[in-house]
Amino acid sequence: MATAASNKIKFLLASKQIDLANDTLKIILMADGFTFDKDVHHGYANVSANELANGYGYTTGGATLANKVVAEDDTNDRANMTCSSVAWTANGGNIGPTPGAIIFDDTPTTPQADPVAGYIDFGGAQTQANGGVFTIANIEVRIA
């Protein structure tokens, strides 16, 4: 599972316009065929048309990330934001296929509303069958 930070989040962090530790962060599943572009996917509005459809246990707009921890990593020369796992229970049909998930900051409205923090690439389209639980564990955004 690979992660990538957006260029917009790097700028907003550098200009002290967001706070990954205290802002409300959300995670959404993307529809099959989506490809993340850290240069142009600046906000939720830039990716929402490619979000997985509402239904079968998934709700558009995503899940709120809990227990966020921001830490300095001097060994790997970066900052990391980690949080608790998120899960959706497939009900009445399959969740997916989905190639990955977008994390966005739901707090700011200017200069960029709901800026995209990063993307978690699942390494291929994933589907959770009806009755199962679609879980994303070890969530991390790295700022290097």
> What is the tens place of the pLDDT at every residue in 15-62?
888 998 999 999 999 999 999 999 999 999 999 999 999 999 999 999
Q: Spell 27-55 as b/e; 16+ CB within 10 A means b.
A: bbbbbeebebebeebbbbebbeebbbeee
Provide the pLDDT for residue 110.
83
Single out the residue of 143, 140, 119, 135 nearest to residue 57, CA to CA: 135
The pLDDT tens digits for 61-80 are: 999 999 999 999 999 998 88
Q: Which residues contact 90 (CB under 8 A, 6 or more apart)?
A: 56, 57, 128, 129, 130, 131, 132, 133, 134
Provide the pLDDT for residue 1.
52
Provide the pLDDT for residue 6.
85
What three-state secondary structure class fits 10? helix
Provide the pLDDT for residue 4.
78
Q: Cis bond leading into 108, ω under 30°?
A: no
Q: How far apart are CA 22 and CA 93, in angstroms?
A: 35
Backbone dihedral angles phi then psi of residue 43, each to the nearest 5 degrees: -140, 170
Provide the pLDDT for residue 137.
95
Domain boundaries, the chain: 2-135
Q: Which residues contact 13 (CB under 8 A, 6 or more apart)?
A: 20, 143
Provide the pLDDT for residue 9.
85
The pLDDT tens digits for 80-128 are: 899 999 999 999 999 999 999 999 999 998 888 999 998 999 999 999 9
Provide the pLDDT for residue 114.
95
